[in-house]
Structure 1
């Protein structure tokens, strides 16, 4: 604003007037003389430092609230907290400190406050053995490895982390907010299940504990759900880890089962320990419910920190790229690694070490269905899901559990836009009465269905043998891959040479009396058959797109994944398939 003064004022007086008015009016002031336009002095309002000191501060009311919060942060009864260290476990708030440092915010800290806290209006004298801070469940938001996430964490010091009405409400709200926000969810589980003595009002209600699994289903494929188990999760609590996209168990403390050992013995008469019933070994090797097994709490966090680097925040978003790194070993050694004979084993991990970025392999379910390796990796910094037959395990034949593992892995990669690489070296699906009883056809169709339905970029490499329906499940030419490449060691056939000769020529060979003549003729037939199924023949007939020098395989795959990064695919218009 402009202020006019008389002609008798000095310059110093004009400056003083400008400064005083600028401070008082909090705006720029210009001082001019009488009716003139020449500015004699000007001043800007002083810069203020906020907040301004007005002598007000927290009252006793706020201080009491902070004392109540500090009490809540102590968790359940002290005797239960003391037992955690004996079990090698962290108190839940220390666990959150390990994972996140400071939380972004926490919801429902005062859940169930009125039922136990001495400051609650309806309590005359609190029982120190009955503490229900936050109703035994912590929920909120935090930053994890630079990513915003929702979290939930059970407090095992509050009635063994059991779930009741208020905690259920918090859990459901967290899930529903994740649906809207499109941010990942971390479940840090240590729960004995539903609180049986308080089940009224949360068990079968529309918005009760059963809604957990409805919400899990809605979140599935929408945002990554990652669950880490820190204790025995029983009954309803055991469904959260199996609904999650990825489940991590911790050695020496984790377990999950549909019922406790005591209940199992009561129902079936079987006496069994929690470890034998549902420990990490059971779910890593036999059920396939554990994707990863950690040594301790710190290792569990490290595994999840590695895992999230391959995942987007939500469906429809590309997974994050990393800085490209060379492979662990030179691709020049690939051809020497692959044996000439289709029956001689080699470890497919050694092949991965020459194809993918160094130190980028995160194998999931390594001990379950080991005939197939499923791993998150990177090629030239780009996340890629690898499905690879493992010749060291029963020649890489596909069994029911390995088919199931592969199908679920493909389905998850497709949900989160992670391209797929199939490394095919299999005699096909296993035959026999045992695998028929185990559902080889049922699990095999799921494997083929997942490959058929995946719309992410897919590349297939015929490394060596691709026999029978194995080439179908492993992304063969009929399954809409962007490319099918062959190495010079590759073969594609209905069955291998030995089986084919036995099926077609056995009677003629048995009619030859001379052993040497029969052996010579059998060798000739075998070589003729192998020429017919060799990858060069397949390339000549344009069954495969190209035969690639093994030393060039990594560069070829990197170029093709980059080229097809934004490929558009669609599925027939329908509600959904009926296979899974």
Structure 2
């Protein structure tokens, strides 16, 4: 293409015009001025978009230029920051079986390409001490196909402790998560706040205390997942307990309100860090640990599975997958459930015949084990399971189990995860110890959470549903979408043995003949069981349906699908006062 342009056009302008025309028309362009036979500027279509150097005004190709001294200095500064703290502290990490924080990020986010960007790399760059990134990394990354915010302590920099600049980075990351509506990963390995630098970040309006305000604002808005890699003490221990889900790594992590040294100073108790706040303590006794990982790789695997059940935020629905058949055949459900109400069995034998194969992720399995709280899928749909466990304390509900269930229900409801209740319980436990442990307080929280949940709920009366157990397990009065009974089901104020003793004890005592008395007791028990049998409940339309156990999976799949878009309104109020 040969074109003539105005004589006032400069050589630089001519080159720009020629390139633009060549790009637009996909043809070679020669520009001439006046009657000149030689072009003032030329541009080749083949050179554009093929990686050919773009000429500068002085004729030198941009791609031939070397980095400037200024850029090389910046790259050296960045390289130094990426090295983290002193080498001797890195060596200690390997002795403890831990990864250096940037190697940890590579593990989590599949190398450098997974970290989208980092904020505040130069924090405390001009400090008198060498404090790379101020010992705390924040940024954004891609994790299992999802965009997430992350923070991670660098234990090689003052034991991962927190001070002014790192606190600022932490707060900004949280505040940005509120805006983006994307999940947050906290990779914690911190000894707490730097006591010698507390002025300026401890009690300030935008200081470390703001962490927990932001945690509270994020709670139920976006999933917050915390993984502990070391002993997190004092202020550092609050992030894991404020998170929606906490993973501790065995033989590596711990959390406590104070260090063993401080405990000894205050109470005189001589105790190790592991005994004070190790994984077993928080898995079995406090309930603060949702999952225990065996090592760093296992921690990532657990979280990768966990996020598969969760939406990015409260405005979205949980991600569905392709459904799969259960690991065990639904045909065996009825054989799993004993006819005798007091005989134990493992509820997982039933669960694995209802949900998709390999989809169960149980949370807090060692805390309040008489109730199962777990994520799973039915035909690819994420659900939250609340199930009594008859092989643990007969499935009676103790205070810790009620607390665990209440918090799980609340979390599922926050993130639009439908709930499946599998009821087989004699009710809430009685006795002086459970009263001291707050059975009424924790029981009301479970009932409150069930009452207030607006996600679709399906309740299955598997076998016994006695006392207030049927209330806590989303019985007919608690606005479930369905209450389904299996033929083994019973609903009653109490079981036959207790009922006969309560009502007929005096009359039975009047029968002198022992055989006659035992015969009468059997008759009364059978009469009572007929009265509380699930068929009677279905006849009186207390429950919606009795289903053959082998069809329970199909029944639940259809009901969860049908009620997927159900809308429920709560009374207008600021919030309840129970939790």
1:2 positional shift: 9.2
Structure 2: distance between partners of 1:541 and 1:139: 59
**Cα pair 2:28 2:45 within 8 Å, conserved:** no
1:77 positional shift: 1.2
Corresponding residue SS for 1:376? strand
With over 3 angstroms needed to count, the CA separation of the structure-2 counterparts of 1:195 and 1:513, relative to structure 1, is same
Structure 2: distance between partners of 1:308 and 1:385: 13
1:290 positional shift: 0.1
In the alignment, is residue 71 of structure 1 matched against residue 80 of structure 2? yes
Structure 2: distance between partners of 1:155 and 1:520: 73
Structure 1: distance between partners of 2:566 and 2:277: 43
After superposition, what is the alpha-carbon deviation per residue over 1:227-259, rounded to whole angstroms, capped at 9, x for unaligned?
000000000000000000000000000000000
Structure 1: distance between partners of 2:20 and 2:81: 47
Corresponding residue to 2:117 among 95, 105, 127: 105
Structure 2: distance between partners of 1:25 and 1:387: 67
Matches within 5 A, 1:277-356: 277-356=276-355
1:209 positional shift: 0.2
Residue in 1 aligned with 2:483? 484
In the alignment, is residue 140 of structure 1 matched against residue 152 of structure 2? no
1:504 positional shift: 0.2
Structure 2: distance between partners of 1:426 and 1:30: 83
1:537 positional shift: 0.2
Structure 1: distance between partners of 2:519 and 2:482: 39
Residue in 1 aligned with 2:40? none
Structure 1: distance between partners of 2:405 and 2:540: 29
**Cα pair 1:451 1:475 within 8 Å, conserved:** yes
After superposition, what is the alpha-carbon deviation per residue over 1:60-118, rounded to whole angstroms, capped at 9, x for unaligned?
110011011111111111111110011010000000000002210000000001014xx
Residue in 2 aligned with 1:15? none
After superposition, what is the alpha-carbon deviation per residue over 1:344-385, rounded to whole angstroms, capped at 9, x for unaligned?
000001111101001000000000000000000000110000
1:316 positional shift: 1.9
Residue in 1 aligned with 2:433? 434
Corresponding residue SS for 2:126? helix
Structure 1 stretches of 5 or more lacking a match?
5-20, 32-42, 117-129
With over 3 angstroms needed to count, the CA separation of the structure-2 counterparts of 1:466 and 1:25, relative to structure 1, is closer
In the alignment, is residue 48 of structure 1 matched against residue 48 of structure 2? yes
After superposition, what is the alpha-carbon deviation per residue over 1:145-177, rounded to whole angstroms, capped at 9, x for unaligned?
000000000000011000000000000000000
Residue in 2 aligned with 1:8? none
1:46 positional shift: 4.0
With over 3 angstroms needed to count, the CA separation of the structure-2 counterparts of 1:46 and 1:495, relative to structure 1, is same
Corresponding residue SS for 1:114? coil
Corresponding residue to 1:84 among 84, 88, 93: 93
1:24 positional shift: 8.4
**Cα pair 2:466 2:494 within 8 Å, conserved:** yes
With over 3 angstroms needed to count, the CA separation of the structure-2 counterparts of 1:25 and 1:473, relative to structure 1, is closer
Structure 2: distance between partners of 1:276 and 1:555: 47
Structure 1: distance between partners of 2:84 and 2:416: 40
Corresponding residue SS for 1:459? strand
Residue in 2 aligned with 1:551? 550
Structure 1: distance between partners of 2:439 and 2:359: 32
Corresponding residue SS for 1:115? coil
Stretch moving more, 44-53 or 494-503: 44-53
Structure 1: distance between partners of 2:131 and 2:2: 66
Corresponding residue SS for 1:226? strand
Structure 2: distance between partners of 1:139 and 1:269: 39
In the alignment, is residue 519 of structure 1 matched against residue 518 of structure 2? yes
**Cα pair 1:284 1:365 within 8 Å, conserved:** yes
**Cα pair 1:141 1:149 within 8 Å, conserved:** yes
1:44 positional shift: 9.1
In the alignment, is residue 458 of structure 1 matched against residue 457 of structure 2? yes
Structure 2: distance between partners of 1:73 and 1:23: 41
With over 3 angstroms needed to count, the CA separation of the structure-2 counterparts of 1:465 and 1:159, relative to structure 1, is same
Matches within 5 A, 1:210-225: 210-225=209-224
1:304 positional shift: 0.2
Corresponding residue SS for 2:427? coil
Corresponding residue to 1:115 among 127, 150, 153: 127
Residue in 2 aligned with 1:203? 202
**Cα pair 1:77 1:131 within 8 Å, conserved:** no
With over 3 angstroms needed to count, the CA separation of the structure-2 counterparts of 1:30 and 1:381, relative to structure 1, is closer
Corresponding residue SS for 1:425? strand
Residue in 1 aligned with 2:418? 419
1:47 positional shift: 5.4
Corresponding residue SS for 1:228? strand
Structure 1: distance between partners of 2:486 and 2:365: 26
Residue in 2 aligned with 1:239? 238
Structure 2: distance between partners of 1:23 and 1:353: 66
Structure 2: distance between partners of 1:79 and 1:378: 47
**Cα pair 1:23 1:46 within 8 Å, conserved:** no
Residue in 1 aligned with 2:533? 534
With over 3 angstroms needed to count, the CA separation of the structure-2 counterparts of 1:30 and 1:246, relative to structure 1, is closer
Structure 2: distance between partners of 1:24 and 1:78: 53
With over 3 angstroms needed to count, the CA separation of the structure-2 counterparts of 1:154 and 1:529, relative to structure 1, is same
1:58 positional shift: 1.5
- TM-score normalised to the size of structure 1? 0.91
1:57 positional shift: 3.7
Structure 2 stretches of 5 or more lacking a match?
5-16, 30-42, 55-60
Residue in 1 aligned with 2:180? 181
Corresponding residue SS for 1:113? coil
Corresponding residue SS for 1:314? coil
Structure 2: distance between partners of 1:258 and 1:22: 70
